[in-house]
Amino acid sequence: MKKYVRNGMIICALSPLIAYYLHFMVGTASNLVFMTLSSATGNSAVAYLGYMGGIEMVPAWTIAVNVTVLIYLAYRWETDKKKGEEP
């Protein structure tokens, strides 16, 4: 297996874990901002918008992208392997 394919697969395998932690860091920061705005304006709907603003979908997006990249890398590895076998 070529080095760039192996490194790409390792990065794709680790990135859901990275996205998991990033999800909570971004979620915590946005929650802090929207809770502050909610208390400043006296409108509780602002806090709800901050919580439901799509942050929960970050891991799902990352996993979808990773699966796509892994399929591409596997395809590229197979085509490189076939090129090496041809005379």
With respect to residue 31, please indicate whether it lies within any of the assigned structural domains.
Answer: yes
pLDDT tens by residue, 21-79: 766 777 777 778 888 888 888 887 777 776 665 556 566 666 677 777 777 777 777 77
Alpha helix locations (H) across the chain?
Answer: 3-41, 44-51, 58-85
pLDDT tens by residue, 1-27: 566 666 766 766 676 667 667 667 777
With respect to residue 87, please indicate whether it lies within any of the assigned structural domains.
Answer: no
φ and ψ of 86, to 5 deg: -70, 145
To 10 degrees, the CA torsion angle through 64, 46, 31, 12? 10
Directed axis angle between helix 3-41 and helix 44-51, to 10°?
170
With respect to residue 3, please indicate whether it lies within any of the assigned structural domains.
Answer: no
For the chain, the residue count is 87
Directed axis angle between helix 3-41 and helix 58-85, to 10°?
170
Q: How many domains in the chain? A: 1
User: Domain range holding 30?
Assistant: 14-79
Q: Check: pTM over 0.75? Answer yes or no.
A: no
With respect to residue 5, please indicate whether it lies within any of the assigned structural domains.
Answer: no
